Chain A
């Protein structure tokens, strides 16, 4: 592996490149934001890249971070050099092994993209709460502050670890460093070899466990010796800081980059010093430089080696003149006397002679930057200013407004230290338009073609469909360490015209800045289409406006909706970062590098886009007057509930940073039913109903991932107040013929996925392409359809009792209580969740494993679970990734226990409550909705009566009375949870016999973290961590659960049979015991247009890849075979299903022979599975359960259906 002299990469790649080359065994598991480190390692392994010893490291994905740590521990004990990469909860799962690895003095480095640990909420973003939780493990802790340092310190950590025998945790800030793209000087193999002393490697190998020189490690020790043995390690920790500094010195001698345990920058005679570690040191360093120019005596002390903390080196690094110190911690330790770094600094000072009576510096501690909260030079200045005060605030916060406990410092947000020589460019794009990818390319182009330094950081919103991306790019002649977002841009590009009415894209534009706008309106007419506020900003700031109709150029050049290359070309044309011709050549070179592998056609269409772009780029003359009569729209309507309007609405508007502490819930509890207030208008086309053709089958309603198509049957008299365009039809139900039926679309919530159109079976007899539902452009429809939608929502919900819940046609008239989620357009998971809420939503408790379903289910600002007109709806909670089954079991046990207690109290209070009510409450049959509704009525009556009873029992019963109504507990998660990290817990919960229902949304990869292999990934499919195609078969989770005999199990695919899916949901809920539904969920990570998701599901079933089964233990009581094989024998080859998806075909392209062999084995898997299933299904009831089965004439071991077995 050779390394160029400079490289443009992010922190993850920088660290992984070094770690990969220095190790032999790499155990990995995906977790944001560290996943790319594992992905790189896996990819390099697949490409056969070698480490510095000339071998290809073994990279193995484990079932969890706990598993990865265990494997690492084992590999180290056997003498290998090993590493792993992780973050957040993943790091916490490694803690037990970290104690062991450190306790055994085993050299190794764990590389961490530091991320928030979930508390009141999950957050994928960066702070030090995870690494701080490992302080006690005995690992040394080395902090990198930048992409360059992520590379350098990966090496310094490894060299130091080998020499000191103390394992190292090398960490850098999640996202801010792990995902920031920067120009760095990478380390060559020779650099690595020079820094790794072979004698320490050999020492590590000598200590390895081997039967050739056996020893025993991991004894159990007693009170007599444990303590002494624990203290025996002390010399190693004392020696460690010196070793690290020596390594840093050798590193400096070789590379010229000098580091120390504590690096001080600033005035040699500083009065005020900030002490901190992590990426935010970049912002402080800029501030220090700025203040030094004003002769301010300030400084920054950067912590490199946080553990073991070398107090002597710390004191030595601190200017003797220091009178005030502010210690900034990027973590929160509730209830402590201060955050960890603050306490360490206090201790170091206290134990040293620094405070000698004459010098007694004031030390304050503060928190900043939790979960990647911005930390800017303005905030750093506020901290320096605070230190000037006679009594500075201690235990402060900076970057927020704390109006509750008043910890926060005020700061001047206008204060800026941006280098005037640095070009600062902001790009607003859509995820699907390729803006981010183009900007990453632009950084490479500038980094390679000029002497400029370059930095890129990318901000995404929390929705997966139609998400807004903001790219922050800096270029300049000096190294860029601005570790914060751009707030003063000299170039702003808005790649989506519609953003102008949704957000203030020009807020950060500096006076005189250039504004590039992708506009369907030409230079002569665009002005009048700009919102008034935008016009005013352009005039006030005298912005130089350019327009291009990027989509027209994209259409003409075959780019579809990818305007990335076009807008990139315009950026280079008008920004002047490079001479125009040179820029065009460089763009084309970059296009060839990026897309060349995908084929000449892709390169050519991008070249055409470059060539056509400039001809369509036009300057717009600056106008004198704002003329528009319309303006930027409010993020939510004024009619929204107060919390939605004031809090969530502010977040939607992109101003969440401004919300003070008092506005936010103290315990992470949020109202449901909020997604409906966020109208995103992201679909260019929406479905339109043809009521004349519609057969009212409900399939479009069923499959709609975002619940934007709904059907109602209602009294025709209600139409009298309907909007003029409102459509209705005669219901195609015999008993409802006197009523009216409407299928209505919400145009502002639709994502335009087209699943509904593909699902529609009704075609016009005169034009077969015209269906009962067809896509049409949204803008002309928006107003009228929105009015229709509003009217439709006001129509009463139909009587649930009058509908057959087992029929799709009927149950799709049931109100969904899951709507407008942030899932991908065309998501294959959400239709199952929506169905769940339609069937049982008003009594539903959901325990949701972390993953896609927890993100689209619970990511702020707005969330999709909602309530029915009675105010009832799903109660939803996410605990962790790994524990969801256990967590859900807890919900069930609590409900059961409360119901039991409620029944006991009801019995005790029978004299006051009356026998009729009590007997009704105690022995209700709650199998049907009608019976549940009757029980609800009785509970309501009970509550009324209890209100009049004054006793402790009555008060207690009032608190638990709702538990008397049957609840439905569902444990929802993906295959990563159910097959891998949570499998142990899931298996245990299924074994308990408790009445919980498990819904596994099986996308066959870790979808949320970007498509890593799970044990559900099929053989022959490519996934991350299975770059060469998965070589083993998918785990049969269904059969594992069936092995208990007491678990209801179903394997469903909505596109294979929606009736079967519904039946399974109803049976699972009805079964008084554990139930497991494994639902085939097509996914964007399968690599095809998800509009055809149902078609692919059908092919999966028809090929036998995904047999539809049910295993219903209740049938055993009737003497029947509980195993039901509900799909037909395979009648298309696996290839016909699989080779519609890029996850399979990309391997055919990259390795045709390998793909052929894996496909053959995968077909064998299908054949074998079908034979096993068919045999099992052909068993007689008496073979399954002789004691319950009636006498039969058939032999107990009847052979399988030949027909099935031979397919």
Chain B
């Protein structure tokens, strides 16, 4: 019997396939189906503190606009009993997910205020989350803000959140660090229980007709996996924290590569959105079949087998590889 179980964030998972944060995980019905097809854990959609704030302010502004200006119309809307304007909706999703699922439920938090990160992390733990994934997403536009300051802030944030909860905390990162291993090490020291590589962003697209800039987010492709493999392979065994690959995981081979690079789990979203939740069932079947065919006994056995430290040719992970590829491309 082939053992495809793994451990991630101190949790025993029946497979290395995890559903990453997406709107798909926002409904308990979907989450049940996700569990049924063999996915081993779910990351709930990101809770965006900033969005919560903006929505509250927009609601306040929309409901106040034009009010108390004219004798006949002191306001324009009825006062509803609730606007679910706090985190309650998200916490309720955690509670209902926990009631409905036997697989671990990981809450995802994207804060904006210092107090917000800590407060909402504690609330998520209280609601029953098995772990928290901190989504460190920020676009620095201020030229006066140094990268060292940003990195320092990230590390402090992680240690503050860690101090406020007892459940494991993963940190989801972008690839945009000058010295990613150093950053990983610092986050490791700050207490991160796992590093999730990498975040994908909305990117501004230019509409040439209207001269407008519009945000876009397209589904990922397997091509994006390579960047993740690269960095997981480098970080494997260099940090204490677990490693997860997210972005570009579409087929069984992608999962295998992620594990061999050193990941504890591979996270999937775009493939589920594109092909349906049932796609995961096929991936896991193919994963098992591949392992059978190639006589692997367990996931543990292969984990990190092709990492920077374990690969037969570590130089391919390094800069020289870049040069060679370019040269070979030119030679064609």
Q: Mark B128-139, 1 if CB is under 8 A from A, else 0.
A: 000000000000
Inter-chain contact A1149/B73, CB cutoff 8 Å = no
Q: Chain A residues with Cβ under 8 A from B78's Cβ? A: 39, 42-43, 46, 1022-1024, 1027
Interface residues of B in 52-70 (CB under 8 A from A): 52-70
Inter-chain contact B85/A599, CB cutoff 8 Å = yes
Q: Closest Cβ of chain B: how far from A8's Cβ, in Å?
A: 16
Q: Mark A996-1035, 1 if CB is under 8 A from B, else 0.
A: 0000000001011111000000000011100100000000
Inter-chain contact A1146/B80, CB cutoff 8 Å = yes
Q: Mark A71-101, 1 if CB is under 8 A from B, else 0.
A: 0000000000000000000000000000000
Q: Closest Cβ of chain B: how far from A806's Cβ, in Å?
A: 25
Q: Mark A229-267, 1 if CB is under 8 A from B, else 0.
A: 000000000000000000000000000000000000000
Q: Which residue of A lies closest to B213 (CB)?
A: A768
Inter-chain contact B85/A1022, CB cutoff 8 Å = no
Inter-chain contact B62/A43, CB cutoff 8 Å = no
Give the complex CA separation of A552 and B108 in angstroms: 37
Inter-chain contact B76/A1011, CB cutoff 8 Å = yes
Q: Mark A600-618, 1 if CB is under 8 A from B, else 0.
A: 1110010000000000000
**Residue B77 is within 8 A (CB to CB) of chain A in the complex:** yes
Interface residues of A in 1137-1168 (CB under 8 A from B): 1142-1143, 1145-1147, 1149-1150, 1152
Inter-chain contact B59/A599, CB cutoff 8 Å = yes
**Residue A431 is within 8 A (CB to CB) of chain B in the complex:** yes
Give the complex CA separation of A595 and B60 in angstroms: 8
Inter-chain contact A460/B63, CB cutoff 8 Å = no
Q: Chain B residues with Cβ under 8 A from A436's Cβ? A: 68, 74
Q: Closest Cβ of chain B: how far from A858's Cβ, in Å?
A: 14
**Residue A518 is within 8 A (CB to CB) of chain B in the complex:** no
Q: Chain B residues with Cβ under 8 A from A602's Cβ? A: 56-57, 59-60, 85
Interface locus among A489-497, A938-946, A1084-1092: A1084-1092
Inter-chain contact B56/A431, CB cutoff 8 Å = no
Inter-chain contact B63/A598, CB cutoff 8 Å = yes
Main secondary structure of the interface of B (DSSP, over half): loop
* Known A-B contacts A1024-B77, A1085-B77, A1146-B77; A601 and B72 likewise in contact (beta carbons under 8 Å): no
Give the complex CA separation of A430 and B57 in angstroms: 21
Interface centre among B55, B66, B86 (most CB of A within 10 A): B66
Inter-chain contact A1084/B66, CB cutoff 8 Å = yes
Interface residues of A in 1078-1106 (CB under 8 A from B): 1084-1085, 1087-1089
Give the complex CA separation of A1089 and B85 in angstroms: 20
Q: Chain B residues with Cβ under 8 A from A1142's Cβ? A: 58-59, 62-63, 77
Please tell me the number of chain B residues within 8 Å of chain A, measured between CB atoms: 38
Inter-chain contact A460/B59, CB cutoff 8 Å = no
Q: Chain A residues with Cβ under 8 A from B68's Cβ? A: 431, 434-437, 458, 469
Q: Chain B residues with Cβ under 8 A from A1007's Cβ? A: 73, 76
Partner among A43, A598, A1085, A1089 whose Cβ is within 8 Å of the Cβ of B76: A1085
Q: Mark A865-908, 1 if CB is under 8 A from B, else 0.
A: 00000000000000000000000000000000000000000000
**Residue B84 is within 8 A (CB to CB) of chain A in the complex:** yes
Inter-chain contact B69/A1027, CB cutoff 8 Å = no
Interface residues of A in 431-456 (CB under 8 A from B): 431-432, 434-437
Inter-chain contact A431/B76, CB cutoff 8 Å = no
Partner among B55, B73, B82 whose Cβ is within 8 Å of the Cβ of A1010: B73
Give the complex CA separation of A988 and B105 in angstroms: 63
Q: Chain B residues with Cβ under 8 A from A595's Cβ? A: 60
Q: Chain B residues with Cβ under 8 A from A1143's Cβ? A: 77
Inter-chain contact A599/B71, CB cutoff 8 Å = no
**Residue B81 is within 8 A (CB to CB) of chain A in the complex:** yes
**Residue A124 is within 8 A (CB to CB) of chain B in the complex:** yes
Give the complex CA separation of A429 and B56 in angstroms: 25
**Residue B79 is within 8 A (CB to CB) of chain A in the complex:** yes
Interface residues of A in 628-678 (CB under 8 A from B): none
* Known A-B contacts A431-B66, A562-B64, A1149-B85; A1027 and B71 likewise in contact (beta carbons under 8 Å): no
Interface residues of A in 24-72 (CB under 8 A from B): 32-33, 35-36, 39, 42-43, 46-47
Inter-chain contact A47/B59, CB cutoff 8 Å = no
**Residue A597 is within 8 A (CB to CB) of chain B in the complex:** yes
Q: Mark B153-183, 1 if CB is under 8 A from A, else 0.
A: 0000000000000000000000000000000
Inter-chain contact A1150/B81, CB cutoff 8 Å = yes
**Residue A1185 is within 8 A (CB to CB) of chain B in the complex:** no
Q: Closest Cβ of chain A: how far from B136's Cβ, in Å?
A: 21
**Residue B75 is within 8 A (CB to CB) of chain A in the complex:** yes
A interface, size bucket: 35 or more
Q: Chain B residues with Cβ under 8 A from A1088's Cβ? A: 62
Inter-chain contact B76/A1084, CB cutoff 8 Å = yes
**Residue A763 is within 8 A (CB to CB) of chain B in the complex:** yes
Q: Chain B residues with Cβ under 8 A from A459's Cβ? A: 71
* Known A-B contacts A1142-B63, A1150-B82, A1152-B84; A460 and B69 likewise in contact (beta carbons under 8 Å): yes
Inter-chain contact A599/B86, CB cutoff 8 Å = yes
Q: Closest Cβ of chain B: how far from A601's Cβ, in Å?
A: 4
Q: Closest Cβ of chain A: how far from B42's Cβ, in Å?
A: 20
**Residue A918 is within 8 A (CB to CB) of chain B in the complex:** no
Q: Chain A residues with Cβ under 8 A from B61's Cβ? A: 560
**Residue A547 is within 8 A (CB to CB) of chain B in the complex:** no
**Residue A977 is within 8 A (CB to CB) of chain B in the complex:** no
* Known A-B contacts A464-B66, A1087-B65; A598 and B71 likewise in contact (beta carbons under 8 Å): no
* Known A-B contacts A1142-B63, A1149-B59; A464 and B211 likewise in contact (beta carbons under 8 Å): no
Q: Chain B residues with Cβ under 8 A from A1010's Cβ? A: 72-76
* Known A-B contacts A1084-B65, A1146-B80; A1152 and B89 likewise in contact (beta carbons under 8 Å): yes
Inter-chain contact A601/B53, CB cutoff 8 Å = yes
Q: Closest Cβ of chain A: how far from B269's Cβ, in Å?
A: 21
Q: Closest Cβ of chain B: how far from A793's Cβ, in Å?
A: 29
Interface centre among B55, B71, B73 (most CB of A within 10 A): B73
Q: Mark B229-243, 1 if CB is under 8 A from A, else 0.
A: 000000000000000
Inter-chain contact A599/B60, CB cutoff 8 Å = yes
Q: Chain B residues with Cβ under 8 A from A458's Cβ? A: 68
Q: Chain B residues with Cβ under 8 A from A835's Cβ? A: none
**Residue A137 is within 8 A (CB to CB) of chain B in the complex:** no
Q: Closest Cβ of chain B: how far from A363's Cβ, in Å?
A: 36
Q: Closest Cβ of chain B: how far from A1093's Cβ, in Å?
A: 13
* Known A-B contacts A43-B78, A599-B83, A1087-B62; A1009 and B67 likewise in contact (beta carbons under 8 Å): no
B residues lining the A interface (CB < 8 Å):
52-86, 89, 211-212
Given contacts A1011-B75, A1143-B77, 14 further A-B contacts (CB under 8 A): A33-B72, A43-B78, A46-B81, A437-B68, A469-B69, A595-B60, A597-B83, A601-B53, A1011-B76, A1142-B62, A1146-B63, A1147-B80, A1149-B84, A1150-B81
Pairs A–B under 8 Å by Cβ, sample size 7:
A42-B78, A431-B67, A436-B74, A469-B68, A599-B55, A1008-B73, A1146-B83
